[in-house]
Amino acid sequence: MDAVSKLMATIGIPPTFKDLGMPEDKFLAVVKTSAEAAMGDPCTGMNPRKPTAEELIDVYRATYYGK
C-alpha cells in the first residue's frame, strides 16, 4: 500500500473521498445503500471470502475518512 500511496501523491490523487471534497452528509446518506447494493452484486460473491454488509461499510468508511 505504501507504493500505491506514494504513486497517488506523486500524480496528485487525493487519498480519500473526503479529500476529494465529497460532503460527509452525502457520504453518510448513501453508505448503507451502497453496501447493500454491493452485497447483491455477483462480483462480491466471487471474493475468496464473502464480506458482510458491515464489513463493506467499514471499507467505505476507510475510503472516506482514511485508515
pLDDT digits (tens, 9 = 90+) for 22-49: 999 999 999 999 999 999 999 998 999 9
Residue indicated by cell numbers 500505491: 4
Residue-level pLDDT at 45: 86
Q: Please give the pLDDT value at position 67.
A: 79
Question: Which residues lie closer than 8 Å to 9 by C-beta, 6 or more apart?
Answer: 15
How far is C-alpha 36 from the chain's CA centre?
13
Greater confidence (67 vs 55) lies with 55
pTM assigned to the model: 0.81
The runs of H, that is alpha helices, within the chain are: 2-11, 24-40, 53-65
